[in-house]
Amino acid sequence: MSSNASGPIGRPDAIHAIVRNVVDTRYEDLSQKAVDATKTFILDSLGVAIAGSLAPGVSETLGVLCDWGGKKESTVLVSGERLPAPSSAMMNSFLIHNQEFDCVHDLAVVHAFTTVLPVALAVAESQGGVTGRELLTAVALGVDVASSIGISSRSPIAHFRPGTAGAFGAVAAAGKVAGFDQTTLSDAMGIVYSQISGTLQPHSEGAQVNSLQTG
């Protein structure tokens, strides 16, 4: 996933088509159905986060993130703490997913809003000056990226897809909010590719660490 327009053997790299679509798409390009669905699932995710604020592991996770400290850039949902954007995104994703009530794309097997929305909110708040339409567009595109990658997967699920496919969607949304050009967003996709991870083991054990993998 270099910034070059083709892969190592000269064929077009699919990530560049994805990046081009993210960079070029405007709010006006979204269908009304996409706009309505994005609004609905943003509200759904926020509601689930309120319920998730009462779940086990919340106070412990929030305590660790507060202890890490850093610049107060964006807000933790429900409780209102101000944390660095990466920390608030992690915490808010944890709140949304920790009871498994968050929306899921069944074919993609991705909780796309859980990974995308907290990142978009954190970047938008830390950056400032982001309109509602800009935020909605970024979320819609990020969800599209995460879901499309999940749907395109052909091998048996060996890793936690919200932490893999979802990570690309989160970067797409962050880059859209931040106004990245194609080169910068392609580079960001390459960076997240080097860091993606996620295991299905917490599903077998019922471990709360599963929710940390979405953030």
CB atoms within 10 A of CB 17: 10
Predicted pLDDT of residue 119: 98
pLDDT in tens, the chain (215 residues): 444 555 555 566 888 999 999 999 999 999 999 999 999 999 999 999 999 999 999 999 999 999 999 999 999 999 999 999 999 999 999 999 888 888 787 777 688 999 999 999 999 999 999 999 999 999 999 999 999 988 877 776 656 666 778 899 999 999 999 999 999 999 999 998 888 877 666 666 666 666 666 66
Predicted pLDDT of residue 2: 47
The span from the CA of 177 to the CA of 127, in Å, is: 9
Predicted pLDDT of residue 176: 98
Q: Has this prediction a pTM greater than 0.85? A: yes
The span from the CA of 114 to the CA of 174, in Å, is: 14
Predicted pLDDT of residue 102: 82
- Selected from 3.40.50.2000, 1.10.730.10, 3.40.50.970, 1.10.4100.10, the CATH number assigned to the domain covering 14-212 reads 1.10.4100.10
Domain ranges in the chain?
A: 14-212
Predicted pLDDT of residue 37: 97
* Measured CA distances, 60 to 11, 54, 136, 155, 208 (Å): 48, 12, 31, 36, 11
